[in-house]
Structure formats: C-alpha cells, structure tokens
Structure 1
Amino acid sequence: MAEEKFMDGKEIADITINDIITEYFNNTGEIRDLDCILEKVDFLDRTLHLGDIEEATGDVFSHLIRFWNMVDKNIPVKKRQPIKIIVNSSGGDLVSALTISDAITLSKTPVYTINTGKAYSGGLIVFICGHKRFCYPSASFLFHEGSTTTGEMDAGKFKNFATYYNSLILKMKNYLIKNTNVTEEIYKEKSRDDWWVFSEEGIELGFVDKILKEFI
C-alpha cells in the first residue's frame, strides 16, 4: 500500500482553503471545529492576530516571521507572499512589542499590518512598523509612554530600573518618529498625555497608508 501523503502530497504554496475544509470534512465527517479550520487557513494565508501583548507574544510572532523568511529564502522579495498582522490590541508588554517591531523591521518578506479596531500603546508601535499599513474606517490609535509598577525596591535598584525603562521609551519614540510623520516637536507636545487618533488623522500623521474599503 502506498504511503498516504498530506493533502495528496501538495506543497504548502499549492494548498487552498477548499483543500483544508475538504480534508477536515473527509477525516471527521462533519465541520464542527471552526477554530481549527481558521487556524490552518490563517497559517496558509500568513495571517497573524495581535491582541493584547503578553510576555510570550514577542517570541511567537518573531518565530513565525523568521519562519516565513526562511521559506521565502530563494524567492525574490517582490514575488513573496506578504505576512499579514491583524492588529486589535490594547498594548501590553513593551519588551514583547519591541521584539515584534524588530522582527518586522528585519523581515525581507513584506509584512502588512491591518488595524481592525484598535492599535494602542505597544500595539501602535507594532502597527507602524508594517511595511504597508491599513486600517478599518472606524479604527483608532493611541500613543502614550506607558506605565509600570516597580514594587518594593531600594533606591539603587529603582534608579537602575528607571534608566532601563527610559531606554525602552526612547526606542518607542524612535520607531514613532522614523516610521511616521511625527516630528520631535509634535512628540514633545503629545507625549505628556494620552494621544488618541482616528483613521483619517492617522493618514495625515503617517500612521496608516490606506483606510480599507474592502478586505485584503
């Protein structure tokens, strides 16, 4: 008996959404686990979903972005299938957000970011690193310098932590100024408080390239 191959031995690039649904139905006799199908479809479509950013999120996203760059190693950059990051994030762990931002910046394979609702705090920093950036009409953005708790620590440790945290804030600032139309003067004015932006102003500020009128 011949060895059974996944999807009839198809290469990843040749597998379609219909292939996934058909295979799942043939194996189970019913379609009941929609999440399982969506995960496979997202993987083949190179689509990642960024919600609130936890400590482990940066490693997961960095690993997947590196993986697709390895897959595309012998493909000219202009012919590579883009990686899409769907952003609907209130922010979260700043180090993790910077890890994702660095991975996007290092990626030769194009990375598109799509704000479907909110790109706040660290989520905004990830979003503005997209090689192309899109948003839904009602999407919003928030920039602020974040907040942190220090717990109980002596004066020396507090001083060292403050220096470290200020360095993280500087990295956020550098990404914002490098990737948008925000100037040093605007940053100085807006960084004192929460800065809320909707899609139309996001275009003017260079946060986003295009407000979507249809899905991509």
Structure 2
Amino acid sequence: MNKDYLQLEFDNLGSEANYKLADPTLVDYYKRLNNREILINQDIDDWIVEWTQEIVEWNREDKDIAIAERKPIKIWINSNGGSLNAINELINICNLSKTPVHAIGMGKCYSAGGLLLMGIPKGNRYILSSTEALIHDGSTGSYGDTGKVLDDLERTKKIEEDTKRFILSHTKITESEYDKNYRKNWWLDANEIIEKGVADHIITNIEELF
C-alpha cells in the first residue's frame, strides 16, 4: 500500500496537532508526494538526490504490481536549468524506472530543464502551449593555471560531444541543424518543441494533467 505522506506528517506532530497548524508549504509538498508528483521550479541540482530517491521508493512500492496498473510518476518542469551531472542522474533514474514516468513542461524548460524534458521516455513528454525550451553550448567555468584551463577545456569538449549525441538520439533534430544552432541561445516555442521531437504532445485539455 502506498504511504500517506500527509498523514505521516500529522502523526509526527503528535499532540502538537491539537494547537499547531501544519506549514502550508509542507502540506503541499506531502500532497504532491501522495500524488507521485515532483515539482521542479528551481535549479535542478538543488534537490536531485531527494527526487531520485522518491522515484526509487515508488518503484519499490510497486514491485508486486503489474506495470500497466501502476500509478504514473509526474515531473512538472519549470526551470532555468542546472548541473549537467545532476540532470543526467535524474534522466537515468527516470529511464530505469519500471513505473511509468511522465514529464509536463510548464513555461520554462531551459538548458538542463530542456534535456530532462527530452530525456523522459518518448510518448510521455507533455508541454503547455506557453512552454519554451532553450538549447545552448556549455561553459568551462575554468580559471587558474594554463594547464588546468586546457584540461577543463578538453573535459568541456567531451561533455559537449556527449550532450550532442544525447540530443540527436532523443529528438528529431538533425546533426547539421544542431551544429548550426548550438553555439547560440537556441530558443524553441511550443510548436517547435513538438516539431523537433523535444516533447510529444501539447496539452489542450486540463483533464490531461490529472
């Protein structure tokens, strides 16, 4: 049986529940956990370990349930981006998950947020009509000795090659189109997101979000 996270929070309050109202933010957080929803509206590296652990835990709860009968996990994305290493970890967990994982792009799917959207299993990637995605090149973030800067540059080139392969394999973007655009801030509106295969479907009925 799935955990009732909100009930657990009230149980933890004990006798204090008689005179102390729960933090509304905390109530909303546990409500989302009960609904198997992850809300990403900050830098993606901030909560990566907790998000991946929740997905693992939901799979553990479902291990004796047929995949077709499992309650899907929903990831709501409205993010400026974050750490590439962090987003790769979350994408890997989403693709290892036997419990279906769906993503809904809302407003901003920038940088690593866009990679997360396109990295969710195909067919499960949704956006609102106002959603934008941003694809751009990397940053070395390097300073100091020439040798260290050059080492960082080589690492950045390797990361860019890996990111290019990832984008080409998860979208309909061609190599020539990618090479032409990735050195700039490449903005995609909702229709272009669908056209380029970054997501699969624009939501037109609110009931699709339930």
1:60 maps to which of 50, 64, 79: 50
Q: 1:69 deviation in Å?
A: 1.7
Partner amino acid, structure 2, of 1:114: I
Residue matched to 2:105:
115
Superposition TM-score, scaled by structure 2 size: 0.84
- Is residue 176 from structure 1 mapped to residue 161 from structure 2 by the alignment? no
Partner amino acid, structure 1, of 2:153: A
CA distance in 2, matches of 1:118, 1:133: 14
- Is residue 76 from structure 1 mapped to residue 66 from structure 2 by the alignment? yes
Residue matched to 1:125:
115
Q: Which has the larger radius of gyration?
A: 1
Gaps of 5+ in 2: none
Gaps of 5+ in 1: 1-10
CA distance in 1, matches of 2:81, 2:153: 20
CA distance in 2, matches of 1:164, 1:190: 21
Q: Measured at CA, do residues 52 and 171 of structure 1 come closer, stay the same or move farther in structure 2, by a change above 3 Å?
A: farther
- Is residue 187 from structure 1 mapped to residue 178 from structure 2 by the alignment? yes
CA distance in 2, matches of 1:112, 1:101: 12
Q: 1:202 deviation in Å?
A: 1.0
Partner amino acid, structure 1, of 2:132: S
Residues 188-215 of structure 1: CA distance to partner in whole angstroms, max 9, x if unpaired? 1111211101111111111111111213
Q: 1:175 deviation in Å?
A: 2.1
Q: Do the aligned residues in 2 keep the contact of 1:136 with 1:211 (CA within 8 Å)? A: yes
Partner amino acid, structure 1, of 2:102: Y
1:137 maps to which of 123, 126, 129: 129
Q: Measured at CA, do residues 28 and 142 of structure 1 come closer, stay the same or move farther in structure 2, by a change above 3 Å?
A: farther
Q: Measured at CA, do residues 77 and 120 of structure 1 come closer, stay the same or move farther in structure 2, by a change above 3 Å?
A: same
Residues 2-48 of structure 1: CA distance to partner in whole angstroms, max 9, x if unpaired? xxxxxxxxx426x598x79x989x94468663212211110011111
Residue matched to 2:197:
206
Q: Measured at CA, do residues 35 and 170 of structure 1 come closer, stay the same or move farther in structure 2, by a change above 3 Å?
A: same
Residue matched to 1:101:
91
Q: Do the aligned residues in 2 keep the contact of 1:202 with 1:208 (CA within 8 Å)? A: yes
Partner amino acid, structure 2, of 1:141: A
Residue matched to 2:77:
87
For residue 128 of structure 1, give the secondary structure of its aligned residue in structure 2: helix
CA distance in 2, matches of 1:173, 1:207: 13
Q: Do the aligned residues in 2 keep the contact of 1:92 with 1:122 (CA within 8 Å)? A: yes
CA distance in 2, matches of 1:39, 1:144: 32
Identity over aligned pairs, percent: 27
Q: Do the aligned residues in 2 keep the contact of 1:141 with 1:196 (CA within 8 Å)? A: yes
Aligned length: 202
CA distance in 1, matches of 2:71, 2:166: 25
Q: Do the aligned residues in 2 keep the contact of 1:53 with 1:96 (CA within 8 Å)? A: no
